[in-house]
Amino acid sequence: MSEFFNFTKPHWSVIKDKKVYGTPIFSLHELELKSDDTEVDHPFYILKAPEWINVIALTKENEIVLVEQYRAGVDEVTLEIPGGMVDENENPLDAAKRELLEETGYKSSNWQQIGKTSSNPAILNNFTHLFVAKDCEFTGSQKQDGSEDIDFHVIPFDEFLELVQNGTVHHAIVLAAVAQYLLSEQIN
């Protein structure tokens, strides 16, 4: 819920939560929910997944560090900001630092959390924690895990925004991170 908005709809009650299928990344659950407003039981299917992170990584020259990789879901090579899953018993900031280093070889000592977003609250139970890392420096090499085949690119931030505007960068969570970053910069 929010301290900034007075929601009027009540929370639904979980009557049953049945795990239907599991993978190393997510599990599919069938939920039986009940709305106090309608007194009707409703089945829903959701994916339970770990928390995720995304990082807007900026160099001292205000260049952004991007990752290029194949994405099986859309069957395309995409251009994104660094990101990934939060490991069990890991906090989101530590995950952000780890993912930035693994995927790009960059590190920073200047971190700020700029928000979190629900990736798709209709079917996903997790959140993506959004960070900005400023004054990023290249350490010399990436440390990708076995399933990653990533190239990284460093481009001026203004050019990145053009790629967002023309649809080259189209990952919804990346777009949410960009919006949060631009809003945070406008407010500060």
Quote the pLDDT of residue 97: 97
- Tens place of pLDDT per residue across the chain (188 aa): 578 899 888 888 888 999 999 999 999 999 998 887 776 677 899 999 999 999 999 999 999 999 999 999 999 999 999 999 999 999 999 999 999 999 999 999 999 999 999 989 999 999 999 999 999 999 987 776 767 788 999 999 999 999 999 999 999 999 999 999 999 888 76
pLDDT, tens digit, 9 for 90 and up, residues 86-102: 999 999 999 999 999 99
Domain range holding 36?
Answer: 13-48
Domain count, the chain: 2
Strand, helix or coil for residue 109? coil
DSSP 8-state class, residue 86: P
Is residue 175 in a domain?
yes
179 beta partners: none
The CATH code of the domain that includes 179 is 3.90.79.10
Three-state helix/strand/coil letters over 31-42: EEEECCCCCCEE
Tokens 């609250």 correspond to: 121
Q: Do 174 and 162 share a domain, yes or no? A: yes
**Whole-structure pTM value:** 0.91
- Residue recorded with tokens 């069990």: 88
- Is residue 117 within 8 Å of 127, Cβ to Cβ? yes
Are 41 and 118 in the same domain? Answer: no
Rounded to whole angstroms, the Cα distance separating 80 from 170 reads: 8
